Amino acid sequence: MKIVDARVIVTCPGRNFVTLKLVTDDGLTGVGDATLNGRELAVASYLRDHVVPALIGRDASRIEDTWNYLYKGAYWRRGPVTMTAIAAVDTALWDIKGKAAGMPVYQLLGGRSREGVTVYGHANAETVEGVLAEVARYVDLGYKAVRVQAGVPGLATTYGVSGDKMFYEPADAAVPTEAVWSTERYLAHTPGVFAQVRDEFGPNLRLLHDVHHRLTPIEAGRLGKSLEPYALTWMEDPTPAELQDSLRLIRQHTTTPIAIGEIFSGIWDCQQLITEQLIDYIRATVVHAGGITHLRRIFDLAALYQVRSGSHGATDLSPVCMSAALHLDVAIPNFGLQEYMRHTAETDAVFPHGYHFADGYLHPSEEPGLGVDIDEDLAAAFPYRPAALPVNRLEDGTLHSW
User: Would you call 240 exposed, middle or buried from its count of C-beta atoms within 10 A (0-12, 13-18, 19+)?
Assistant: middle
Task: Given the residues 122, 189, 212, 312, select the one marked as catalytic.
Answer: 212
Nearer to ligand CS2 by Cβ, of 109 and 119: the residue is: 119
- Candidates 170, 266, 364, 368: give the one binding ligand CS2 (CB under 6 A): 170
Q: Is 159 a catalytic residue?
A: yes
With binding defined as CB under 6 A, does residue 244 bind ligand CS2? no
Report helix, strand or coil for 264: coil
| Site stretch for ligand CS2 (CB under 6 A), options 113-121, 137-145, 296-304, 310-318 | 310-318
Candidate list 159, 168, 281, 361, residue with the active-site label: 159
Interface with ligand CS2 (CB under 6 A), residue total: 10
Quick one: 393 exposed, middle or buried, by C-beta within 10 A (0-12, 13-18, 19+)? middle
* Partner touching 170 among Mg ion, ligand CS2, none, CB below 5 to 8 Å by kind: ligand CS2
Q: What are phi and psi of 204, to 5 degrees?
A: -95, -20
If one asks whether residue 103 binds ligand CS2 (CB under 6 A), the answer comes out as no
Q: Is 238 in the site for ligand CS2 (CB under 6 A)?
A: no
Give, as ranges, the residues between 319 and 378 that touch Mg ion (CB under 5 A).
none
> Hey, is 381 helix, strand or coil?
coil
Binds 118: which of Mg ion, ligand CS2, none (CB < 5-8 Å by kind): none
E runs forming strands in 115-253 = 117-125, 145-150, 178-181, 206-210, 234-236
347 part of the interface to ligand CS2, by CB under 6 A: no
Angstrom distances, CA of residue 312 to CA of 56, 320, 378: 31, 13, 26
Q: Is the dihedral of CA 213, 283, 260, 342 positive or negative?
A: positive
389 in Cβ contact with 395 (< 8 Å): no
**Residue 256 binding: pick among ligand CS2, Mg ion, none (C-beta 5-8 Å cut-off by kind):** none
Give which of ligand CS2, Mg ion, none residue 314 binds (C-beta under 5 to 8 Å, depending on kind).
Answer: ligand CS2
- Residue 323: phi and psi, rounded to 5, are -60, -45
CB 171, min distance to ligand CS2, A: 6
* Residue 158, amino acid: T
Q: Does 33 bind ligand CS2 (CB under 6 A)?
A: no
Residues 369-398 that bind ligand CS2 (CB under 6 A): 389
Q: How far is the CB of 275 from ligand CS2 (least distance, A)?
A: 24
For 402, the enclosing helix (H) or strand (E) is: none
The closest alpha carbon to 109, from 257, 319, 256, 296, belongs to 296
Span near Mg ion by CB under 5 A; candidates 38-46, 96-104, 203-211, 249-257: 203-211
Residues in region 311-340 near ligand CS2 by CB under 6 A:
312, 314, 316, 339
Of the candidates 277, 202, 212, 272, the one whose C-alpha atom is nearest the C-alpha of residue 238 is 212
Using the rule CB under 5 A, which residue among 210, 219, 280, 367 binds Mg ion?
210
Which residues are CB-neighbours of 49 under 8 A, at least 6 positions away? none
Q: Which of ligand CS2, Mg ion, none does residue 136 bind (CB under 5 to 8 Å by kind)?
A: none
* Segment lying near Mg ion (by CB under 5 A), choices 169-177, 186-194, 206-214, 317-325: 206-214
Whole-angstrom Cα distance, residue 276 to residue 195? 31
| Whether residue 69 lies in the annotated active site | no
Give me the residues that bind ligand CS2 (CB under 6 A), please: 37, 170, 210, 212, 262, 312, 314, 316, 339, 389
Give me the residues that bind Mg ion (CB under 5 A), please: 210
For the annotated catalytic residues, the residue numbers are: 159, 212
